Structure 1
Amino acid sequence: MKFITIIGTGLAFTLSGCAIHQNVKPVGNLDQKQVCVIENPSIRSGFLDAYVRSLNAKGYQVRKLPLSASLVECNITSTYTAHWRWDLALYMAYAEIKVYNVGKPIGEAKYDATRGMGSMNKFIDADKKISELVDQLFPGGAGLAPAAPPKDR
């Protein structure tokens, strides 16, 4: 009986570490319509393409900057990183987007499936996940405040 309890406890601890986490701190009110994105050439180009498409869909104009650009080159600047892994198929295991206003951090989105070993939920469509992160990170769209909740009547 003790053996089964030990095995069960060990399995519970192992599976509790198999989690996928997503955390987004929205940028809040932005009156800017331009977002400058510092290109990260070490990341698959498809990530930047999906990020730009998602920002454009929110009404932002995107200006791409070289990796050597400063965070204060534009009023609103963004950086990104991502990692892919192989486990039966290639999947995006980690993504992080940071947003700065004149060099000061104002928002961040993280998706982390690096500990999702046993989870089939890690096999997501990276483009859709990037779009979801952008929707949460920039809730109001270009030049707009985030949508207010409906008022009760």
Structure 2
Amino acid sequence: MGAIGASSAWLIAALLLGIAELAVPGVFLVFLAIAAAATGFAVFALPDLPVTAQLGSFAAWSVVTVLIGKRWYVDYPVEGGDPMLNDRAARLVGEIVTVETAIIAGHGRVVVGDGGWPARGADAAVGTRMRVVAVEGGTVVVEPLEA
């Protein structure tokens, strides 16, 4: 394969990796696409570059681009829309719940959504509406609603 063919192969690989990144975003293949493109340009500039040197170039550029990308995401983190998306307990804080089993001596049960949770807080009768202020070890800590 000539220099133009080898260069084209690396550039096509870069294009395919870029398309794969768009199709299945994971912010990883883009770095390999950049490395393949850099190798393609190197082969174009140095037509007699042996295959082992091409693979070495691709490996080196892959390491460099991944390290740059890693540093970039440390310096400029991507923030999600809901930081508590996978933390069900944290999402309960602030919710209004109804006492299911009277809270006596600080312990009872409350209805959260369609299920019951053990609760700790001020004594309250069945049916009393309370606010969740914390979740500790699978128990919701509740306080009376403000009047």
Sort the TM-score into its range (normalised by shorter chain). under 0.3
Between structures 1 and 2, the one with greater strand share: 1
Higher Cα Rg, which structure: 2
Between structures 1 and 2, the one with greater helix share: 2
